[in-house]
Structure 1
Amino acid sequence: MTNTKLRIAAFQRYPVFDDLQATIAQLHTDLQWCQEQGVELALFPECYLPGYSTDAQVVARRAIATDSPVFKQARQQLSVFNTDFILGFFEQRVAGIYNSAAVLRQGQLMGVYAKQYPNERGVVAGNASPVFEKSGYTYGINICNDANYPACAAELSQQGARLLCYPLNNMLAPATAEKWRSKSLDNLRQRAIETGCWVVSADVVGTVLGENEDKISHGCTCIIAPDGSIVARVAEGQAGVVVFDIG
């Protein structure tokens, strides 16, 4: 007997860079909250664990292997919670560095999805579309720029996915951020309508000071029904969380 509903949560968070313990502490707080709320699956932003970058040297410095002591320690510290969660990071593999999202369940690594259309320098494109299951729901992951490619979502729905999870990082130059402010949401709505799947996204928010130009993310964290309607969204410009029971 499977559940008829799946309680999901999506977190809009300020980015943290190169401070794994600070990020893990925030994850600990958020997953504790999820457990109290009966959340079964939680989603966090793209490359949330080390912090996002498009610079090849920074990406290489932040890359972590799933069998490394650092990643194992993170898993161990977050193993006490019942909520499954999707956590983004730059992943070091033998073949190169990937922009990945791990599915974690009580300290166990259930699998990894690697971004198929990476727009970060020095990152290798993934070529697999794994699906996962929670409480009778099959779901899959696409990461940020993948949302521009309908075939990525279609691959997941063709494998029986009923929920598409999108870790995002829309931290961009102000003019670019404004352009994507509505387009990012429109893309997600289109992917829901085309596939008939629920869609959930988790984005960063705030401002990052840069040497040449500051960057800003308005935040596009939401839950979208298969008909393209937005059933829940974190307010732009602030950290927060949305929870919804998808049917």
Structure 2
Amino acid sequence: MRGWLRVGACQTPEFLGDIERALLCIEGFAAQADAQDVDLLLFPECFLQGYLVEEQHVREHALSLDSARFAVVLQRLARIGQTLVFGVIEQADGRYFNTAVVVAQGELVGAYRKTHLVPGEFLFEKGDAFPTFVLRGVRFGINICYDTQFGEAAAPIVTQGARLLLVPAQNMMRHAAALHWKDLHHAIRAERVRETGMWLVSADVTGERDEFRIGWGPTSVISPRAEVVAQVPLMTTGMVVADIR
């Protein structure tokens, strides 16, 4: 086991209620990642079904992780060589969660449920666990978007010996809010890095949903010294690759 991990973070368009297009996007990035010997690919928050906290969207598209519908998704991803981390809208026992799954060669390795919900996420329930995972000798955990504003979301991960914090995010916002937050995401995430000493890798959507909402990103890599060492340019789709040692 080589003891270091090559991660690709993917800045993608937003797909709302179109799992087929989301899977095609994963497959496209996986093909690029093959050429760069990437071990793990990170995608945005609620990536599979699209982040839209409206009752019809959530009820129609939420998936149980042990359902036949999700099994079809896993089967589709079985031929991808990289371990995948991507957001899903999860249904479990009549409840809904904003979840990130870890999938390796079509097998569900585990999942993290968002523990800090923004006020608009009233349809979701909070998670209460902070699992970590090991790949290529590197232990990693997950925070989802708004989680990174709270040190108590990252602390349980670093105490398990993690060297890497993965952050699926989704910052498609109204124009004024997007502009306000555009330069704050890195500052907030850098605070978590200073507290924990972990690497932090994030993945976000980009583009415009309608005339009112825009997603700038960012998709980036922050080193244990709290420096942004790589980033996909704002308002472009693409992948940034980093070696976590």
Q: Same fold (TM over 0.5)?
A: yes
- Equivalent residue number for residue 181 of structure 1: 182
SS at match of 2:8: strand
- Equivalent residue number for residue 203 of structure 1: 204
- Equivalent residue number for residue 145 of structure 2: 144
- Equivalent residue number for residue 161 of structure 1: 162
2:131–2:157 contact (8 Å) kept in structure 1: yes
SS at match of 2:51: coil
1:95 Cα deviation (Å)? 5.3
How many angstroms apart in 1 are the aligned matches of 2:166 and 2:79?
Answer: 23
1:55–1:121 contact (8 Å) kept in structure 2: no
Q: Amino acid of the residue matched to residue 58 of structure 1? A: H
Aligned pairs for 1:1-247 within 5 A:
2-94=1-93, 96-119=95-118, 120-209=121-210, 214-247=212-245
How many angstroms apart in 1 are the aligned matches of 2:61 and 2:177?
Answer: 25
How many angstroms apart in 1 are the aligned matches of 2:149 and 2:101?
Answer: 21
1:56 Cα deviation (Å)? 3.1
Superimposed CA distance per residue, residues 176-210 of structure 1 (whole angstroms, 9 cap, x where no aligned partner): 1111111111111111111000000000001111x
How many angstroms apart in 2 are the aligned matches of 1:147 and 1:67?
Answer: 28
How many angstroms apart in 2 are the aligned matches of 1:35 and 1:65?
Answer: 30
1:192–1:227 contact (8 Å) kept in structure 2: yes
How many angstroms apart in 2 are the aligned matches of 1:73 and 1:38?
Answer: 26
How many angstroms apart in 2 are the aligned matches of 1:39 and 1:245?
Answer: 9
How many angstroms apart in 2 are the aligned matches of 1:96 and 1:79?
Answer: 28
Q: Amino acid of the residue matched to residue 193 of structure 1? A: R
SS at match of 1:182: coil
Q: Structure 2 length normalisation: TM-score?
A: 0.96
1:74 Cα deviation (Å)? 1.1
What are structure 1's unaligned runs of at least 5 residues?
none
1:88 Cα deviation (Å)? 0.4
Q: Share of identical aligned residues, percent?
A: 36
CA RMSD of aligned residues (A): 1.1
How many angstroms apart in 2 are the aligned matches of 1:216 and 1:91?
Answer: 25
1:35 Cα deviation (Å)? 2.2
2:17–2:57 contact (8 Å) kept in structure 1: no
How many angstroms apart in 1 are the aligned matches of 2:81 and 2:203?
Answer: 20
How many angstroms apart in 2 are the aligned matches of 1:216 and 1:18?
Answer: 18
Q: Amino acid of the residue matched to residue 236 of structure 1? A: L
Q: Amino acid of the residue matched to residue 152 of structure 1? A: A
SS at match of 1:33: helix
SS at match of 2:17: coil
How many angstroms apart in 1 are the aligned matches of 2:67 and 2:35?
Answer: 30
How many angstroms apart in 2 are the aligned matches of 1:91 and 1:182?
Answer: 30
1:5 Cα deviation (Å)? 2.1
SS at match of 1:82: coil
What are structure 2's unaligned runs of at least 5 residues?
none
1:56–1:121 contact (8 Å) kept in structure 2: no
How many angstroms apart in 2 are the aligned matches of 1:78 and 1:36?
Answer: 18
1:114–1:125 contact (8 Å) kept in structure 2: yes
Give the number of equivalent residue pairs. 243
How many angstroms apart in 1 are the aligned matches of 2:61 and 2:20?
Answer: 14
1:41 Cα deviation (Å)? 1.0
SS at match of 1:138: strand
